[in-house]
Amino acid sequence: MSPPSLIQASAPSSHSAPIALSYELFPPRNEAAALSLWNTIRELETTNPDYVSVTYGASGSNRDTAVELLNRLLTETSLLPLAHLTCVGNTADELAEIISELLDHGVRGILALRGDMPKDAPAEPRAGSLAYAQDLIELVRRVEQRRSALLCAGKVAIGVAAYPAQHPESPSIEHDIEVLLAKQRSGADFAITQVFFHADQYKDLVNRARRAGVSIPIIPGVMPLTSLRRVQRLGDLTGVEPSAKLLDALGRAEDAADSRRIGVEATVGLARAALDAGAPGIHLYTFNEHAAALDVLDKLQLLRPGRPQLASRAVPERLVRA
Ligand code: FAD
């Protein structure tokens, strides 16, 4: 597949920050998936993202594969990892241990999440567990404090989740904003949104958040939805109502190529609208696949900073636009 065009040579003026670019990956479940993931990682690396995030199973079941992937990203690539971490499935002591381990390995970004409750979760939370993402943020800051000499000037960047459509367990969108504000007060540096299907939902979230005093960057999370099955599954997983228009268009797609074109176009439309509304970056949920993500990037033509590259990993000449 042809790699995307990134406008690098025309550096942004000192008054405007470049658009941040990041990708979400998940730890591979088997060897074949790992091989395919590493192909994706190498393709994504050529686009020089600001960071790549690595998901964490809320049951804690993929802890080892998540940590292994984070370590390999740190040692074998030029990419900066953002480690997802969830309250669900771990006690505070276990989480403190994982956070220490991640920091010792060189991770400097954590996405602090509560995690999705397993369907068979007991009514009573496990003793010593944390209830909310806010508690996890405070725990990360405590661990960071204990390691401040080791971290030198390198503060840990903490991201959190934000919801353009109401969180499924939340009583109201106003409550969602109160929670986001509380996460900021506890030490969150930035937020990444859950998937959304209507650009107005992102704009409304940012407007409501700003009015309430939330000042951290709120980065839209967009996912190239290139198959009907994936949109439906995503709706079930996240509780976000899929767009009827997209469902209809994907339902009428002639073949896989047509589905991909439809999904990419819809994602580009959402991302452009979010950027027009002032979004400071784009976070692409990749499903560990690079083709559609790179299509989206190619069409978006983001203004990105030129960066020094390791000689062996320089961005191919054809990616650099004058
Ligand atoms: P919280 O902010 O703690 O909110 C959870 C619920 O509790 C909400 O309904 C909120 O309104 C309510 N609440 C929060 N604080 C309070 C309070 N003080 N008092 C009363 N109510 C409160 N899940 C995973 O398992 N692994 C992942 O890797 C993962 N990555 C994600 C990445 C992104 C960018 C996003 C947007 C979501 C991700 N998720 C992941 C899903 C996420 O874990 C779920 O959406 C989860 O249901 C809520 O997580 P949270 O961090 O928003 O929780």
- Direct distance between the N- and C-terminal alpha carbons of the chain, in angstroms, rounded to an integer: 22
Alpha-carbon distance of 163 to 123, in angstroms, equals 25
Q: How far is CA 30 from the centre of its chain?
A: 22
Q: Could you give phi then psi for residue 228, rounded to 5 degrees? A: -60, -45
Alpha-carbon distance of 111 to 53, in angstroms, equals 8
Residue 308: what pLDDT? 65
Domain 7-12+19-319 class in CATH: alpha beta
Which residue owns the Cα nearest ligand 1 atom 12?
A: 170
Residue 87: what pLDDT? 95
What residues does each domain of the chain span? 7-12+19-319
Which residue owns the Cα nearest ligand 1 atom 36?
A: 194
For ligand 1, what atom is nearest to the CA of residue 115? 43
Alpha-carbon distance of 119 to 133, in angstroms, equals 19
Residue 226: what pLDDT? 92
Which residue owns the Cα nearest ligand 1 atom 20?
A: 179
8 A C-beta contact, residue 193 and residue 162: yes
DSSP-H helix ranges across the chain: 31-45, 63-76, 92-105, 133-146, 148-151, 173-186, 199-212, 228-238, 244-251, 256-276, 291-300
Residue 149: what pLDDT? 86
Q: How far is CA 224 from the centre of its chain?
A: 13
Q: Is 130 in the pocket of ligand 1 (CB under 6 A)?
A: no
Measured CA to CA in angstroms, residue 160 lies from 78, 82, 88, 185, 260 at distances of 24, 11, 15, 12, 30
Q: Is 58 in the pocket of ligand 1 (CB under 6 A)?
A: yes
Per-residue confidence in pLDDT tens, the chain, 322 aa:
445 555 544 444 556 788 999 999 999 999 999 999 999 999 999 999 999 999 998 776 788 999 999 999 999 999 999 999 999 989 999 999 999 999 999 999 999 999 988 777 776 778 889 999 999 999 999 999 999 888 876 789 999 999 999 999 999 999 999 999 999 999 999 999 999 999 999 999 999 999 999 999 999 999 999 999 989 888 888 989 999 999 999 999 999 999 999 999 999 999 999 999 999 999 999 999 999 999 999 999 988 887 666 554 444 443 333 3
Instruction: Tell me how far the alpha carbon of residue 149 lies from the centroid of ligand 1, in angstroms.
Output: 31
Residue 315: what pLDDT? 46
Residue 124: what pLDDT? 75
